[in-house]
Structures are given as C-alpha cells and as structure tokens.
Chain A
Amino acid sequence: MPREAEPSLNEKAFFLQALQDGHRLDGRKFEQFRQLDLQFGDQYGVADVTLGKTRVLAKVSAEVTVPYPDRPFDGIFTITTELSPMASPAFEVNRPTEQEVLLSRLLEKTVRRSNALDTESLCLIAGQKVWSIRVDLHVLSHDGNLMDASCLAVVAALRHFRKPDTSMEGETLTIYTPAEREPVPLSWLHTPLCITFSFYGDEGEMTLVDTTLLEEQLKVSSCTISLNKHGEICQVAKLGGTPVDAVSLVQCASIALQKVKELSTLLDQKLAEDSKRRNKGGLLAELSAENAR
C-alpha cells in the first residue's frame, strides 16, 4: 500500500528552527492565510476553492424523494466527502482514512448539526415528498488545510445553489424545470465556517493557521473551531495531540472569529459578483432561448 511520506529529520529540525525565529517557509505571517480564490461554476451549486496549492470543489445537487419515516417534516441533507487518489495516492477508494472520517464529521457538525440549512423548508408534502439536498466534496489537490478549504467550499456551494421551483395546487405538486421557471435558492439560516489552528513546539506554544501539507505533517496538535460571523461557535475539536495551554485556545477562538468575519465578507462579495454576472447573462440567455424557438 502506498504510504504517505514523512518529512525528513532535516526538514523537521529546520522548520522548527525557522518557526522559533519567527519565519514560515513561504514567508507568511503565523496568522496569515495563503492566497484564497473562490469561483463558482456555470451551473448553480458548484464552488471551487483554491487555497495556495490546495484545491477543493463542492457540488450541490437536489432531487425529490421520500422523507425518513421518523422525520416526516424534514428534508434530507447529506454531505459526502470521499478523498480519491487524485489528492494523494495514500487515499484509497472505499477505504476511508481517519482524516477523511474527521473531515466528514467536521462538515457534519459545522454545517448540518448547526442548522445552517433549514431542513424543514425542504419539505414538499409531509411524509411523502421532500427535497434531498446532497453536497459532494471533491478534493483535487491536497497541500494542507483541507478542513478550512472544504468547509468554505461546501458552504459557498450551498449558498450558491438554486433548486427547481415548485408549486402546490390542491393535491398536485408541480416541479418546474429550469427552462420553465428560474430556480430558487435554499433557505439558509447562518453561515458557519471553520478555522484550523496547528500547534508547534514541545508545549504547543507556537500557533499557525492555514498550514501547508509539510507544516501539517509536523504539527504536534491542532484545533478546529467552527463559528459564524455572529460569534456563535458551532463546533470545536481539539482531538488529542500535545496538550496546549487553555489560554492560547481561548485566544484561538477570538482569532477564529476575526478570520471567519473576513471569510464571510469575501463569500458574500463573491456571491454578489456572481449573481450580478448571472443576471446579465440570464437576460441574454432568455433572449437567445426565445430566439432559438
């Protein structure tokens, strides 16, 4: 089985030395993110996040289905994360690594359990028909900090997504195709995002955000904090590793809040840009569709 390569002793020692001198290998500050790029696809519900050399793509799809019998008023909302060998040959198909499980749990807790999406609004006919919203997360390139990039991609894709419009007349449910009626956005309650902190040093006294793969491999422990711009924590996970001083974790939380505010602003701005672009194109498309007929 292909194994993930460990950094050499030289890299470990030098990296730590540089960190103690206050330098990161790529010249970033400790609390600085890499170049972040967020792009939406031509189709609704596709978000492509590039964070340095890490690249993830989230795609949302919807279909009408039968609700779970114990939750007749709730739509179905699932997030699937399957890491493929594309990101690293160490990922095998159908054999989830621990990293994959933790990533999937993180998204689950951050987006699903925090009720970011109003699942009740996905109900069409109670107990019979609901929307099933599904997010597929694809990791195209893995150079560290999959967590933050994935979370942003999933949230962005969901906010960008439009589901087909529906109407109820008496007992009949009509679902309009995109050609008939412009699709409608999901009912979205708040925007949770996550920030991962990695700790270094014997006592975990140095803290980095947005780590590259090498930095990630050398961390002694890490903590992922999910929250929205209103300062509501949705999830905190520091799963073991070298113990870290409680005070620095509290500091991390306040840095996370500040970073999430920045990311939220960026996301809002990108969504606005996209809808502006679409609106222009939308009119044109309508016209051309008219012409074609």
Chain B
Amino acid sequence: MATDSEMVFVLPGDGIDASLIPTHPKRPLRLGPGLRHIPPSTIVPTIAGQLVTDHKKNSLWVEYNGGRYIPAVGDLVIGQVDRSAADFYYVALSDYSSNASLPQLAFEMATKKTRPNLATGALVYARVSLANRHMDPELECVNSSTGKADGLGPLVGGMLYSISLGMARRLLMRKSVEEGRVVVLEELGALGLAFETAVGRNGKMWVNSEDTKTVLIVGRAVKETDEGNLTVDQQKKLVRKLVKEMS
C-alpha cells in the first residue's frame, strides 16, 4: 500500500510537496477523497488528514476518519427503506441526508411480477450505482453485468449497528486483519461463534446469528474497538472478556 513510511499531515489549503505526487509514466494520476485539482496542475487538500501516495496505482488521497457519509459510485452501503413509490424504493443512507433511490427492478431475478416487497423500515445491502453532487444517489442490489446479487439484497433479521466511517472502511478492506488491524470478528469466529455480518461504507454494520447473545457480543466488540481505538492485543482481550461475560 502506501510506500511512504513517514506520515505526511495536511490541512486544507496546504501546498503539497511535489515529491509526494506520484509520477507514473503511463497511468493517469488518480485523486482520491480530500483533494482538489485546480487547473492547470495544482493539487490542494480540502480536509485535514494523512496524505497517502500509492505509486503503483499512481494515486493520491487523504486518509481521515469522521464526518458524514458522502456516497461514491461502487460503495457498498446498508440503507433503510423510507418509503416506496411506483417503481422505486427511497432509501435512507444516513440520518438527515437526502434519500437514495433504489429501482424496484434492481434486484436479482426481479421482474414486474417477482420484485421483492420491502416495507418501510426494512434494510437493504446495496451498491451505489450513481452519485454526483447534483443528483440524489442511486443504488442497485444486483450486478448489472452478471445479473447476480453478489450477496446484495434485503437484510432480514439481525441487528444494525452504527460505526465510524473509518471502522467501516477498515472492515471492508480486502485484508481487514492485516491492513485494517481489526481482529475482533476473526477472534470471535475462532471461539466458535457463528454469525454473519454485512458492512456498509456509510458507517453501518449488520450482524445476524441464530443466537441473540452472539449478535450482542459481535456488536459490542466492534463498537468498543471502534470507540476505544483498541489495538490488536486489546481487541483480543476484549473478545475474551465479552464472551466470558455473556456465557
């Protein structure tokens, strides 16, 4: 990932040292969140955080935690159905934000006759298919090229927890243990707890299990790791403590 060992902290409006801007010969430069390009060639941070350079992918972004979820195309999110109209569900991604729309046919195998019937207050795991500043975001629960759900769709049962956007990002990393340093889920699984989770980039985590207690343990483990900034060792200790407490 980031090749720079040194942490580079930026504030909005700071100048960025030219050496930090990756210069890949072929790939175009990709700017991630927290940066702004002022033509012709100035790059300015817009938020406070750690500047991260990925020379391989020729990309540059600011890593931070906090704030409100702002939808971006491709994000996996957990939404709550606010109301349904003729062809759409209107889905809330975070409190007080405008609703995203989810076409009723954007589900696996959905036709006019077989589309899922979601009540107000139901949860869906979806992917952001359209997001720009001028329009309300759009979601889909199906991979439009393969027609497969890929695990997306209504979330039935279980419990929803709010977590920080940073924690959601860590949990969604391909190697959440190595890179994200979250081990609670693996630890709990190793102790024989059976549960399933879904993590939304919008700071939501859904946990389900046959056993109510397991859901409670998983929820508390992740929330306490998140709120307490726990290290890997602390997380392991927490898991042992919670499991002991609840049994």
Point out residues on A near B: beta carbons under 8 Å: 2-15, 17-18, 21, 23, 25-27, 89-90
Contact = CB atoms under 8 A, between A and B. Distances in A.
A26 B220 contact: yes
A116 to B, nearest CB: 36
Nearest to B118: A9
Given A5-B92, A5-B95, A89-B96, A10 B216 contact: no
Contacts of A11: 159-160
A6 B119 CA distance: 13
Nearest to A5: B95
B157 A10 contact: yes
A7 B123 CA distance: 10
B245 interface: yes
A9 B216 contact: no
A23 B121 contact: no
Contact of A2 (B96, B119, B122, B155): B96
15 contacts: A3-B96, A5-B80, A5-B92, A6-B121, A7-B121, A8-B160, A9-B119, A9-B122, A9-B123, A10-B158, A15-B159, A18-B212, A18-B216, A23-B213, A27-B245
B219 interface: yes
B125 to A, nearest CB: 12
A190 to B, nearest CB: 38
Given A5-B95, A10-B159, A18-B212, 8 more contacts: A4-B95, A5-B80, A10-B123, A11-B160, A17-B212, A27-B216, A27-B245, A89-B95
Contact of B212 (A8, A14, A89): A14
A21 B157 CA distance: 16
Contacts of B157: 10, 13-14
Contacts of A90: 96
B215 interface: yes
Contacts of B219: 25
A2 B123 CA distance: 21
Contacts of B107: none
B90 interface: no
Q: What is the interface of chain B mostly: helix, strand, loop, or mixed?
A: mixed
Nearest to B211: A21
Nearest to A24: B216
B245 to A, nearest CB: 7
A17 B215 CA distance: 11
Interface in B183-220: 206, 212-213, 215-216, 219-220
Given A18-B212, A21-B212, A10 B155 contact: yes
Contacts of A12: 121
Contacts of B123: 8-10
Nearest to A2: B96
A7 B75 CA distance: 22
A14 B215 contact: yes
Contacts of A14: 157-159, 212, 215
Contacts of A89: 95-96
B117 to A, nearest CB: 13
Central interface residue in B121, B122, B157, B158, by most chain A CB within 10 Å: B121
Nearest to A14: B159
A25 B80 contact: no
Nearest to B78: A8
A5 B96 contact: yes
